[in-house]
């Protein structure tokens, strides 16, 4: 094996040694011991021993193999939590001065890794690979703890789902996708609010409504849009199925429209009013009426950093949490 000394029979006076690599003499290799080097890899070694009675050649060894590396103290540094950045600690390897490389779950190879929303709820595996001449490469897999949401749950809100009018889309999909929006690390969950569906009751009612039913909730609601009236967070079935003209003109995904409309109307229930575009080219606040005009902003289905901050326990807006305001909010 590479780096591991071989010894011929004990040195005796009057005996000469010559080490052979694949049958050929290795220049200068005339001591009783020989340490295989890089040139010997994959080749058999033998030793020729010469004394007064003559010369014998040992049986060849197996081809010289790469040495085995050992590893200690590889780690992922940092807190596995959405919005945090993790860093690989290379640890130690038994080979001298190895080349160390990293591979994160998304295939990226930098030493640092920015946690992604899709990582929440999963343990991440970092592969640390060391390579050195004469050694078999060694890959160590380091797993993080389960990736957490941006902040832990501070408040649990229960809601139930109802319908109004003739429903021509999958209610099951509506329930599932609305809950996905609530569970999404980029959504209001990021401010510590967890939404839990219940069979009846709860703090608010999420309604999937035929478009013509919207004005029945309030004269302030329009058959064109979704709306929020008191405890009712009402999603207009027409918008749910087909997004909005502006959204479609920008070739954006229907799934993102659904995220946007659930976040927006639920944001009203959380006590948030409409927001303005903070500047050209910026992400639109989810509480901006994006279907009605972007004011130079970019479409955005999820609350912005600022909107999230406004809902965290430090944000003054927690005062609105009871949502006793029954004025309609039309998106
Ligand atoms: Zn609105």
State the number of CA atoms in the 13 A half-sphere of 91 facing the CB.
24
* pLDDT band with cut points at 50, 70 and 90 for residue 10: low
| 258 and 322 co-located in one domain | yes
User: Are the C-beta atoms of 283 and 303 separated by less than 8 Å?
Assistant: no
Going from the Cα of 264 to the center of ligand 1, the distance in angstroms, rounded, reads 6
State the number of CA atoms in the 13 A half-sphere of 261 facing the CB.
32
What digits encode the pLDDT tens for the residues 12-28?
778 999 999 999 999 99
Going from the Cα of 273 to the center of ligand 1, the distance in angstroms, rounded, reads 7
CA angle 52, 55, 61 (to 5 degrees): 140
| 162 and 288 co-located in one domain | yes
| 160 and 141 co-located in one domain | no
Going from the Cα of 259 to the center of ligand 1, the distance in angstroms, rounded, reads 14
DSSP-derived secondary structure letter, 25: E
Question: Using CA atoms, how far apart are residues 87 and 295, in angstroms rounded to an integer?
Answer: 39
Going from the Cα of 325 to the center of ligand 1, the distance in angstroms, rounded, reads 14
Res 83 pLDDT > 90: yes
| 46 and 85 co-located in one domain | no
Going from the Cα of 231 to the center of ligand 1, the distance in angstroms, rounded, reads 14
Going from the Cα of 287 to the center of ligand 1, the distance in angstroms, rounded, reads 6
Res 322 pLDDT > 70: no
Going from the Cα of 330 to the center of ligand 1, the distance in angstroms, rounded, reads 5
Res 319 pLDDT > 60: no
Is the residue at 87 inside a domain? yes
Give the 3-state secondary structure percentages of the chain, helix then strand then coil, rounded to 5. Answer: 20, 30, 50
Pairing of β 85-89 and β 112-114 = antiparallel
Work out how many domains the chain is built from and give that number: 3
Is the residue at 64 inside a domain? no
Provide the pLDDT for residue 316.
47
| 274 and 164 co-located in one domain | yes
* pLDDT band with cut points at 50, 70 and 90 for residue 231: very high
| Of the residues 146, 168, 197, the one at which a domain ends | 146
DSSP-derived secondary structure letter, 67: B
Res 325 pLDDT > 50: no
The pLDDT of 138-161, averaged and rounded, is: 96
| 160 and 118 co-located in one domain | no
Is the residue at 63 inside a domain? no
State both tokens at 221: 């609601």
State both tokens at 109: 């190879």
Is the residue at 103 inside a domain? yes
- 307: domain CATH number is 3.40.390.10
Is the residue at 268 inside a domain? yes
Going from the Cα of 263 to the center of ligand 1, the distance in angstroms, rounded, reads 10
Res 318 pLDDT > 60: no
Contacts of 52 (CB under 8 A, 6+ apart): 14
| 142 and 159 co-located in one domain | no
Going from the Cα of 137 to the center of ligand 1, the distance in angstroms, rounded, reads 57
The pLDDT of 103-132, averaged and rounded, is: 97
pTM: 0.81
Is the residue at 120 inside a domain? yes
User: Are the C-beta atoms of 223 and 320 separated by less than 8 Å?
Assistant: no
Contacts of 118 (CB under 8 A, 6+ apart): none
| 51 and 97 co-located in one domain | no
Is the residue at 65 inside a domain? no
The pLDDT of 73-95, averaged and rounded, is: 97
| 185 and 307 co-located in one domain | yes
For residue 34, what are the domain limits? Answer: 6-57
273-278: long-range contacts, CB 8 A cutoff, minimum separation 24 = 273/329, 274/329, 275/307, 278/306
Provide the pLDDT for residue 9.
74
Res 331 pLDDT > 70: no
| Of the residues 146, 180, 197, the one at which a domain ends | 146
User: Are the C-beta atoms of 136 and 206 separated by less than 8 Å?
Assistant: no
| 87 and 180 co-located in one domain | no
Contacts of 149 (CB under 8 A, 6+ apart): 81, 82, 120, 185, 189, 190
| 180 and 240 co-located in one domain | yes
| 110 and 172 co-located in one domain | no
What digits encode the pLDDT tens for the residues 258-313?
999 999 999 999 999 999 999 999 999 999 999 888 889 999 999 998 898 876 65
| Of the residues 115, 146, 177, the one at which a domain ends | 146
- Closest by CA to 110, choosing from 77, 86, 134, is 86
The pLDDT of 42-47, averaged and rounded, is: 96
Which ranges in 144-205 belong to alpha helices (H)?
171-183
* 64/312: higher pLDDT: 64
State both tokens at 316: 């003054």
Percent of the chain whose pLDDT exceeds 70: 93
Going from the Cα of 226 to the center of ligand 1, the distance in angstroms, rounded, reads 8
Is the residue at 274 inside a domain? yes
Provide the pLDDT for residue 244.
94
Going from the Cα of 122 to the center of ligand 1, the distance in angstroms, rounded, reads 34
* pLDDT band with cut points at 50, 70 and 90 for residue 210: very high
Res 317 pLDDT > 90: no
- 115: domain CATH number is 2.60.40.2700
Provide the pLDDT for residue 93.
97
Give the strands of the sheet with 54-57, arranged side by side: 24-25, 16-21, 45-51, 54-57
Question: Using CA atoms, how far apart are residues 264 and 286, in angstroms rounded to an integer?
Answer: 6
Provide the pLDDT for residue 326.
37
Percent of the chain whose pLDDT exceeds 90: 86
Question: Using CA atoms, how far apart are residues 122 and 124, in angstroms rounded to an integer?
Answer: 6
Going from the Cα of 218 to the center of ligand 1, the distance in angstroms, rounded, reads 14
């Amino acid at each position: 094996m590479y780096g591991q000394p071989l010894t011929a029979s004990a040195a005796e006076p009057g005996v000469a040694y010559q080490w052979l690599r694949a049958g050929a003499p290795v220049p200068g290799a005339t001591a009783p011991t020989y340490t295989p080097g890089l040139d010997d890899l994959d080749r058999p070694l033998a030793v020729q021993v010469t004394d007064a009675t003559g010369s014998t050649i040992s049986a060849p060894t197996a081809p010289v193999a790469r040495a085995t590396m050992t590893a200690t103290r590889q780690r992922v540094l940092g807190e596995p939590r959405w919005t945090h950045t993790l860093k690989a600690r290379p640890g130690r390897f038994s080979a001298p001065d190895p080349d160390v490389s990293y591979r994160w779950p998304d295939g990226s190879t930098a030493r640092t890794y920015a946690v992604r929303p899709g990582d929440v709820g999963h343990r991440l595996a970092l592969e640390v690979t060391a390579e050195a001449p004469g050694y078999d490469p060694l890959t160590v897999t380091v797993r993080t703890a389960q990736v957490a949401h941006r902040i832990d749950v501070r408040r649990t809100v229960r809601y139930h789902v109802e319908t109004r009018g003739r429903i021509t889309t999958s209610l099951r999909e509506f329930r599932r996708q609305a809950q996905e929006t609530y569970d999404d690390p980029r959504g209001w969950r990021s401010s510590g609010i967890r939404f839990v569906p219940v069979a009846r009751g709860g703090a608010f009612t999420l309604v999937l409504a035929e478009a013509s039913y919207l004005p029945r909730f309030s004269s302030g609601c329009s058959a064109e849009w979704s709306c929020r009236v008191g405890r009712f967070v009402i999603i207009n079935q027409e918008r749910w199925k087909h997004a909005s003209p502006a959204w479609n003109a920008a070739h954006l995904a229907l799934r993102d429209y659904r995220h946007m409309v659930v976040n927006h109307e639920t944001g009203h229930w959380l006590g948030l009013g409409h927001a303005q575009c903070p500047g050209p080219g910026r992400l639109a606040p989810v509480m901006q009426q994006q279907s009605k005009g972007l004011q130079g902003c970019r479409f955005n289905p999820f609350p912005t950093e600022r909107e999230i901050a406004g809902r965290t326990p430090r944000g003054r807006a927690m005062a609105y949490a009871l949502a006793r305001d029954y004025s309609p909010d039309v998106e």
